[in-house]
Structure 1
Amino acid sequence: MNCIFCKIVKKEIPSKILYEDDLVMAFEDIAPQAPIHILVIPKKHYSTVLDINENDKELIGHIFMVIKKITEQKGVDEKGFRVVMNCNSQGGQTVFHVHFHILAGRQMHWPPG
C-alpha cells in the first residue's frame, strides 16, 4: 500500500506529531488552511468513511475525544474550531485514509465552498 498517512503512522515519513496512542495519531497538516490545522487519523487504514463499520464505534468515539483534548491543549476549545471530514473525490478527499481536519485560529465562514 502506498498510503502517505500509513507511512506517517509507521514513521517512514517525518511529521510534527502532536498526539499518539495505540489507535490514533494527530499531526500538523503540511499545507495548512488555517493558523491551526491538525489532522487526526486512525492508525488502522480505512480508505473512506464508508469503510467504517459497526465494530468501529469505539474508535470513532475515541477520535472525537482526542479532538476535544487537542482543541483544549491548543486553547481553541472556547473560541471555536471546525472539524472536517471529506469523503471521495467530489467530497474533496485527496488522501484516501480516513482523517479529520481540525481548523482553528481564524473566523470560519459558511458555506465552506
Structure 2
Amino acid sequence: MAGQPQADCLFCKIAAGEVPADVVRETATTVAFRDINPQAPTHVLVIPRVHHPDAASLAAAEPQVLADLLTEAGNVAADEKVDRTGYRVIFNTGSGAGQTVFHAHAHVLGGRGLNWPPG
C-alpha cells in the first residue's frame, strides 16, 4: 500500500535504518544520502520516509511531503556548496526514464558543468 513501508523496498529499508547509507541529512519526513554510483561530484538522493512509487504518486497523495523533499534538495545543495554554482534536481519516473528503485526520490547533482540535454 502506498504510504506504508514496503518490506522489499531498498529505500524503505534505508529510511528505517535497516540498510546502511552515507546519510547527509535527515528530517522527520525525508532522508538524504550519497548515491553509490555518483554521476557528478555531488550526487545525493533525497527520499521521503513514506513509500510512494514515484514523484507524481507522492505529489497526488502527500503534497506536503513532496514540498519537504524539494526543500531538503535545496538544503543539500547548500550543504554541498553547489547552490551558487548550480545544481540539478531530477526525478526519474518509470524504467524507461532510468528509475531503478520504485520509491519516489530526487537526485541532487552538482559540482561540474551539467549540459542539457543530459546523456
TM-score range, shorter chain: over 0.9
Deviation at 1:14, TM superposition (A): 0.7
CA distance in 1 between counterparts of 2:34 and 2:87 reads 15
Q: Which residue of 2 aligns with 1:42?
A: 48
- Aligned pairs for 1:61-100 (under 5 A) are 61-100=67-106
CA distance in 1 between counterparts of 2:100 and 2:71 reads 25
Match of 2:114 among 105, 108, 113: 108
Percent identity over paired residues: 39
Range moving further from structure 2, 78-87 or 65-74: 65-74
1:56 aligns with 2:65: no
RMSD between aligned residues = 1.2
Q: Could you list the runs of 5+ residues in structure 2 that have no partner in the other structure?
A: 1-6
CA distance in 2 between counterparts of 1:49 and 1:68 reads 17
Find the residue that maps to 1:83 and give its secondary structure.
Answer: strand
Give the TM-score normalised by the residue count of structure 1. 0.93
Deviation at 1:52, TM superposition (A): 2.3
CA distance in 2 between counterparts of 1:24 and 1:98 reads 11
Are 2:15 and 2:31, in contact at CA under 8 Å, matched by a contact in 1?
Answer: yes
Q: Could you list the runs of 5+ residues in structure 1 that have no partner in the other structure?
A: none
Find the residue that maps to 2:62 and give its secondary structure.
Answer: helix
Find the residue that maps to 2:46 and give its secondary structure.
Answer: strand
Q: Which residue of 1 aligns with 2:39?
A: 33
Give the TM-score normalised by the residue count of structure 2. 0.89
1:69-90 deviations in Å (ceiling 9; x for gaps): 1111111111001111000111
Deviation at 1:46, TM superposition (A): 0.5
1:28-79 deviations in Å (ceiling 9; x for gaps): 0011011110000000000122422545121111111111111111111110
